[in-house]
């Protein structure tokens, strides 16, 4: 008798778990607004995505820099990044951090 009730309990719990997984609402698909791509005379590529309903401006910059661009000067990007943590002739450490 005890074995049957344990089996029924396992079936009942499994059913509830399965129903919870199956009955989850579908999420709406997300689609980015259209954007305009253009290049400035200095070579900077701009991807402009206007959305006038949202009062916000976000700017993201991707700069071709890092160890992959060091060429035959291995470690230059790392050395430069580490040096900037201490300031330069023209800018103090705090000015660079701002």
The pLDDT of residue 1: 46
Q: Which domain holds residue 62?
A: 36-97
Query: Residue 69 has what DSSP assignment?
Result: G
The model's confidence at residue 25, banded by pLDDT at 50, 70 and 90, is low
Beta partners for residue 45, in sequence order = 39
Q: Residue 67 above 50 pLDDT?
A: yes
**20 occurs within a structural domain:** no
Across the chain, what does the average pLDDT equal? Answer: 78
The pLDDT of residue 56: 84
Length of the chain: 98
Radius of gyration for the chain, computed over Cα atoms and rounded to the nearest angstrom: 28
pTM here?
0.36
**29 occurs within a structural domain:** no
**27 occurs within a structural domain:** no
Number of domains composing the chain: 1
**50 occurs within a structural domain:** yes
**85 occurs within a structural domain:** yes
The pLDDT of residue 41: 93
**8 occurs within a structural domain:** no
């Amino acid at each position: 008798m005890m074995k049957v009730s344990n089996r029924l309990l396992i079936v009942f719990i499994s059913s509830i778990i399965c129903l919870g997984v199956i009955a989850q609402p579908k999420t709406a698909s997300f689609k980015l607004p259209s954007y305009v791509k253009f290049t400035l005379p200095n070579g900077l590529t701009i991807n402009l995505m206007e959305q006038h309903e949202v009062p916000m401006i976000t700017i993201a910059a991707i700069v071709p820099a890092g160890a992959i661009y060091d060429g035959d000067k291995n470690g230059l990007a790392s050395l430069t990044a580490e040096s900037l943590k201490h300031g330069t002739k023209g800018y103090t450490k705090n000015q660079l951090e701002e």
